[in-house]
Amino acid sequence: MKITEAYLIVTSPGRNFVTLKVVTESGVYGLGDATLNGRELSVVAYLEEHVLPALIGRDARQIEDIWHFFYRGAYWRRGPVTMAAISAIDVALWDIKAKMANMPLYQLLGGRSRDRVMAYAHCTGSDIESCLQEVEKHVEQGYRAVRLQAGVPGIPTTYGVAKNDGERYEPADSELPAEHVWSTEKYLNHVPELFRVARERFGPDLHLLHDVHHRLTPIEAARLGKALEPYHLFWLEDCVAAENQDSFRLIRQHTTTPLAVGEVFNSIHDYRTLIEQQLIDYVRTPISHGGGITHVRRIADFAALYHIRTGFHGPTDLSPVCLGAAVHFDTWVPNFGIQEHMPYEALTDEVFSHDYRFENGHFIVGEKPGHGVDIDEEKARLYPYRPASLPVNRLEDGTLWHW
């Protein structure tokens, strides 16, 4: 089953997406998501210039060998660009294999472990009250889990909060990086109050999540985790920048608030200490950044040994191809925790068709062979790439701070 063609489709139906299409001699094709948000064209160049020429002619069934060819064989291992490229190939090949087997992808992985996949929604507001109004809306829609981010008094803009209440937030909203102001003190004084009021208003059952976007030091994260303990968070996400995995030990010593990490990780090696020493509770690396199904499955299995569960990154800057593959993975993976969900714009869904459904706060996997996501290439051509950058963050005195 030779690969005869492999090419990229770059499109921006509301958001930049890079999609790899791998075609075989029998005409069966597979799609993989190669979107590295904010750095999209670097993966296009890496794939087109260095990888795809060596993919043509290989046997599409040899997923494992092809994975290692582009990982071990590349000399330059790991890193977001390399791993996003490998992920795209890997997911496209799993899509092909599942289509050849005439099975939905989750069946090929080992079958169903659950009927539906619990997702969490983003609820944001300029202040506590407007954020909680969003929670109310999402609870009415059936969500059982919500991520709360509210504007911090005294800081002009807060990343992850919509510009206008009731709207979705856009992570990459300017051509060049906008500069935001950050105050750890103001933030730490504010967040516990948000969760106190939320827990009081919505009762004990609703899962509450929060994302720190890597902005604290370990001891500050420990303080926040401790302050949030009475409100029983489902998780506290990315509380510190995680290059130093050992630093999580300090956080863990001080708090029982569950910790989630990994949306910017791309390898099992990024997790080694965190998992082996049980310093975290959820792994978040999406399939499109962590080496595809082949490698993320290894991360999940490693995590399972230590009672750590999955909670994949799922913002709108990963394409529906990634989300489609994630819903299959989530349906199968024994140590599933939760799936992030930010609904796509209608335009995105016009370009990418999918057979997963979303109902009452849960994804339900489709039964089409493969991962069930396709792209309308003609429509995709109508929406050319547009440069879009994430903001950067400075302390009030001008110091460049963690993202």
Residues with active-site annotation: 159, 213
Task: Find the shortest distance in angstroms from Cβ 140 to ligand KDG.
Answer: 22
What does DSSP assign to residue 142? T
Question: Which of Mg ion, ligand KDG, none sits in contact with 37, Cβ below 5 to 8 A by type?
Answer: ligand KDG
Task: Find the shortest distance in angstroms from Cβ 350 to ligand KDG.
Answer: 22
Given the complex with Mg ion, which of 11 and 257 has the nearer CB atom?
257
Q: Which of 363, 372, 342 is nearest to 160 (CA)?
A: 342
d(C-alpha 183, C-alpha 370), whole Å = 46
Question: Which of Mg ion, ligand KDG, none sits in contact with 340, Cβ below 5 to 8 A by type?
Answer: ligand KDG
Task: Find the shortest distance in angstroms from Cβ 29 to Mg ion.
Answer: 32
d(C-alpha 225, C-alpha 221), whole Å = 6
C-beta separation of 207 from 144 below 8 A:
yes
Task: Find the shortest distance in angstroms from Cβ 289 to ligand KDG.
Answer: 10
Token digits of residue 251: 């956080």
Task: Find the shortest distance in angstroms from Cβ 211 to ligand KDG.
Answer: 5
Q: Total binding residues for Mg ion by CB under 5 A?
A: 2
- In sequence order, the 6+-apart residues with CB closer than 8 A to the CB of 246 are 273
Interface with Mg ion includes 340 (CB under 5 A)? no
Where do runs of H (alpha helix) occur along 167-246?
Answer: 184-202, 218-228
Q: Please, what sign has the CA dihedral across residues 385, 53, 81, 91? A: positive
Given the complex with Mg ion, which of 46 and 235 has the nearer CB atom?
235
Contacts 24+ apart (CB under 8 A), 296-304: 296/329, 297/109, 297/329, 297/333, 298/268, 299/268, 299/271, 300/329, 300/333, 300/335, 302/268, 302/271, 302/275, 303/271, 303/275, 303/335, 304/334, 304/335
Task: Find the shortest distance in angstroms from Cβ 394 to ligand KDG.
Answer: 17
Given the complex with ligand KDG, which of 55 and 161 has the nearer CB atom?
161
Question: Which of Mg ion, ligand KDG, none sits in contact with 247, Cβ below 5 to 8 A by type?
Answer: none
Question: Which of Mg ion, ligand KDG, none sits in contact with 255, Cβ below 5 to 8 A by type?
Answer: none
Task: Find the shortest distance in angstroms from Cβ 69 to ligand KDG.
Answer: 29
Q: Mark the segment that binds Mg ion (CB under 5 A) among 61-69, 173-181, 256-264, 304-312.
A: 256-264
Kindly report the backbone phi and psi dihedral angles of residue 202, in degrees, each rounded to the nearest multiple of 5, phi listed first: -105, 0
Task: Find the shortest distance in angstroms from Cβ 169 to ligand KDG.
Answer: 9
Question: Which of ligand KDG, Mg ion, none sits in contact with 374, Cβ below 5 to 8 A by type?
Answer: none
Given the complex with ligand KDG, which of 6 and 342 has the nearer CB atom?
342
d(C-alpha 180, C-alpha 159), whole Å = 8
What does DSSP assign to residue 281? S
Question: Which of ligand KDG, Mg ion, none sits in contact with 95, Cβ below 5 to 8 A by type?
Answer: none
Given the complex with ligand KDG, which of 3 and 172 has the nearer CB atom?
172
- Residue whose beta carbon is closest to Mg ion: 211
Given the complex with ligand KDG, which of 210 and 297 has the nearer CB atom?
210
Given the complex with Mg ion, which of 147 and 354 has the nearer CB atom?
147
SS3 call for 212: coil
Residues that bind ligand KDG (CB under 6 A): 37, 171-172, 211, 213, 263, 313, 315, 317, 340, 390
Kindly report the backbone phi and psi dihedral angles of residue 181, in degrees, each rounded to the nearest multiple of 5, phi listed first: -105, 145
C-beta separation of 104 from 365 below 8 A:
yes
Given the complex with ligand KDG, which of 88 and 108 has the nearer CB atom?
88
Token digits of residue 213: 């976007």
Determine the residue type at 85.
A
Site for Mg ion in 263-282 (CB under 5 A): 263
Q: Mark the segment that binds Mg ion (CB under 5 A) among 228-236, 258-266, 268-276, 385-393.
A: 258-266
Interface with Mg ion includes 211 (CB under 5 A)? yes
SS3 call for 345: coil
C-beta separation of 213 from 160 below 8 A:
yes
Q: Which of 180, 194, 187 is nearest to 127 (CA)?
A: 194
Token digits of residue 173: 């909203």
Question: Which of ligand KDG, Mg ion, none sits in contact with 390, Cβ below 5 to 8 A by type?
Answer: ligand KDG
Question: Which of ligand KDG, Mg ion, none sits in contact with 317, Cβ below 5 to 8 A by type?
Answer: ligand KDG
Q: Which residues bind Mg ion (CB under 5 A)?
A: 211, 263
